[in-house]
Amino acid sequence: MAEPAKLTLYSDWWSSCSQRVLIVLNIKGLEYEYKAVNLLKGEHFDPEFEKLNPMNYVPALVDGDTVIGDSFAIILSLEDKYPQHPLLPQDPKKKALNLQAASIVSSSIQPLQNLAVLQFIENKFNADEKLTWAQNHINKGFAALEKLLKEHAGKYATGDEVQLADVFLAPQIYAGLARFQIDMSLYPTLARLNDAYNELPAFQAALPQRQPDAPSPS
């Protein structure tokens, strides 16, 4: 029997998009090789990396002869190919809720506070404006997620099983706290979910500081 193709993840330790994929790889028990791409050094603009992701973003995943350069696409591909520990429920209403929550994070929060956008804001204005910008968009998204999920959440975002919404929420909440000084007391449902994620080994192993390219603590 042929050996399954080895997965290779191209990532930067501080990327919340990569963190989503790491959580899924951990939940599904998939082995992978981690290849660091240092965003601060501009390694994502290397022509060889651009062949993997023409947008010059991390993460990128190589799975045999399949190359995927977007975290949402990577996660849905992994969900299709590796069905163990499914992240999308069969119930259409609950599935739609998970997709909506994931989309809010991936399209209405994270792109507005990613490295390229914040560098642009800082260069055009100043560092204080950069923080204000990020906080504004994160708070707007968190307020929407709080309203969306408060009537549906169980132990986790959409019930008592970890599903797609949780995979997207956990890294965004972590970034909000660690990088952008977000007051999570404004969002009690999200704050409670974050406490639950902190108890899960698959989520903890995906934290930025636990990645092989994370700087050593001083």
Domain-wise residue ranges, the chain: 7-85+205-210, 92-204
- Provide the pLDDT for residue 216: 86
As given in the structure block, the two tokens for residue 183 are 């007051």
- Provide the pLDDT for residue 122: 87
> What's the CATH number for 7-85+205-210?
3.40.30.10
Q: Find the helix or strand (DSSP H, E) in which 90 lies.
A: none
- The answer for residues whose C-beta is within 8 angstroms of residue 74's C-beta and 6 or more apart is 21, 24, 59, 61, 68
* C-alpha closest to that of 22 among 174, 161, 211: 211
Beta-strand relationship, 32-36 and 7-11: parallel
- Provide the pLDDT for residue 1: 47
Contact 71, 32 (CB under 8 A): no
For 99-123, the pLDDT digits (tens) are 999 999 999 999 988 888 888 888 8
The reply to whether 7-85+205-210 and 92-204 are identical in fold is no
78, amino acid identity: L
- Residues 5-43 as b or e (16 or more Cβ within 10 Å = b): eebbbbbbbbbbbbbbbbbbbbbbebebebbbbebeeeb
Average pLDDT over every residue of 6-13: 96
Backbone torsions φ then ψ of 120, nearest 5 degrees: -65, -45
Question: Alpha-carbon dihedral of residues 8, 161, 91, 29, nearest 10 degrees?
Answer: 20
- Provide the pLDDT for residue 5: 60
For 122-151, the pLDDT digits (tens) are 888 888 898 999 999 999 999 999 999 999
**H helical segments located in the chain:** 16-27, 47-52, 71-81, 92-103, 115-124, 127-149, 164-178, 188-197, 201-204
Judge whether residue 73 has pLDDT over 90. yes
- HSE-up (13 A, CA, CB side) for residue 101: 29
Which CATH class for the 92-204 domain?
A: mainly alpha
pTM attached to this predicted model: 0.94
